[in-house]
Structure 1
């Protein structure tokens, strides 16, 4: 089933460091990540995701955070050409 969206005029890009996909209940469907630890509950992110376009197969080119954010904003690979260094 294809979702139909009205003319979209706004873009909200959420970038969160250190938030694993399996710790968001929208993705993991309430399954616990670790034995003996209850599953994470993220109702606000889940409600937002239900009204949004969600990317389920998006991966960064590498780590750490600063080069990956540079790649997102510029569309250029950074690590092969500009190695990571402290700010």
Structure 2
């Protein structure tokens, strides 16, 4: 019984998504819509510092504020 439900669920999902996947255009168009633009990737140009004291000294020497990016917990949410 459980196998039958699983098979029908998978088949119905496949039938519902098959038309939508190919109706959107070429694969490259979809990839271009998903990937971030150059404007959205600007944060990658920042020279991030891992050493807090080094970053503080550099910010102080340049007269600039220091931005600290911190997190609590495991990066994959496995806490």
TM score, norm. by length of structure 1: 0.19
TM score, norm. by length of structure 2: 0.20
More helix, by proportion: 2
Which structure has more relative contact order (CA 8 Å, sep 6+)? It is 1
